[in-house]
Structures are given as C-alpha cells and as structure tokens.
C-alpha cells in the first residue's frame, strides 16, 4: 500500500529521488468513484518513472471542478483507495484546481495526465516544462468516466427522492 504523505514529505521524497538520479512521476485527479480508466491511467503513469506520486484533489477542489453533488466520496476515502493500487507509491491530497503549485514545489521528472488530454492541452504543461520536466499522456483511450458511472447508477436505481 502506498504511503500517504504531506506536501513537505513529498518535497523531501522528490529531492531524494532526484539526487539519486531517479525519475519521479506526478499524476493528479479527483478519483471520485474509482473505475478501470483510473487504474489504467495510474499503471501507465507508473511505467514512466521510478516512483509514482498521486495528488488527489481535495473535496473543496472537486466541488469547484465538478459542480454540485460532487465528490461522491470524501477525500480521505478517495486517497485511501488510490493508495491501495499497486502502481502508486505515494499519495497526497491538495486543494488547488491545478497541479501547478505542486509541480513548482516537487519538480517531477514527468507529469502524467490521462488520455482525455493531449500533451498540448495539459493545464500544467507550461509549469512542467519551465521546471525541466516532461508531460506524458498515460492510460487507455478515454472511454470511462465517473460522470458516466454516476449516470448509469442513477438510470439503474432511480434518483433518490
């Protein structure tokens, strides 16, 4: 199981890995209702380096990004589930809407995003490149989403009244 870390601990880990010539990969997302697309994204991200740090958006951040009714699961549970994945080495929860500040602080060798992005459309692209890192797209084609999963559940079981 991956270790949940604070930003300070993540910065120390990143510095140690870099000093040892190892590649830290940073992935981030909401991970609300974990599905196979998330798993494939994180497995693909892990293959890009020596350690994978996953930044999970806080509840407040998910509400800003996804709107009313989200997240479905609280941040502590989402972080715990992500940390249980074998591809993940470290997990932290962050409150920003993008990972720009994390990238500036951690200076990962690679910032991985899922296939709903291209290397050119990754919001943090400029931050990554300015820190000397690279942007990579990982996972399978975008055919899974938490939103679609929620819609499937609502169709199958009806909206609670």
Average pLDDT, stretch 11-27?
98
pLDDT at 160 (0 to 100): 59
pLDDT at 135 (0 to 100): 98
Q: Which of 151, 96, 93 is nearest to 124 (CA)?
A: 96
pLDDT at 131 (0 to 100): 94
Integer Cα distance of 138 and 3 in angstroms: 22
pLDDT of 161 over the 70 cut: no
pLDDT at 159 (0 to 100): 63
Q: What is the pTM of this model?
A: 0.90
Integer Cα distance of 42 and 114 in angstroms: 8
Measured in whole angstroms, the distance separating CA 8 from the mean position of its chain's CA atoms is 18
75-134 per-position pLDDT tens digit: 999 999 999 999 999 999 999 999 999 999 999 999 999 998 999 999 999 999 999 999
Q: Residue 20 is encoded by which pair of tokens?
A: 């040892």
């Amino acid at each position: 199981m991956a270790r949940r870390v604070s930003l300070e601990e993540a910065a120390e880990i990143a510095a140690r890995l870099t000093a040892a010539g190892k590649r830290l990969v940073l992935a981030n997302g909401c991970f609300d209702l974990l599905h196979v697309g998330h798993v494939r994204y994180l497995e693909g991200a892990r293959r890009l380096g020596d350690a994978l740090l996953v930044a999970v958006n806080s509840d407040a951040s998910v509400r800003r990004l996804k709107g009313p009714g989200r997240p479905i699961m609280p941040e502590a549970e989402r972080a715990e589930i992500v940390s249980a994945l074998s591809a993940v080495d470290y997990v932290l929860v962050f409150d920003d809407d993008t990972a720009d500040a994390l990238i500036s602080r951690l200076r990962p060798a690679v910032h991985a995003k899922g296939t709903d992005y291209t290397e050119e459309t990754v919001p943090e692209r400029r931050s990554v490149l300015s820190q000397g890192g690279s942007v990579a797209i990982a996972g399978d084609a975008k055919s899974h989403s938490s939103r679609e999963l929620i819609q499937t559940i609502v169709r199958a079981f009806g909206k609670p009244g």
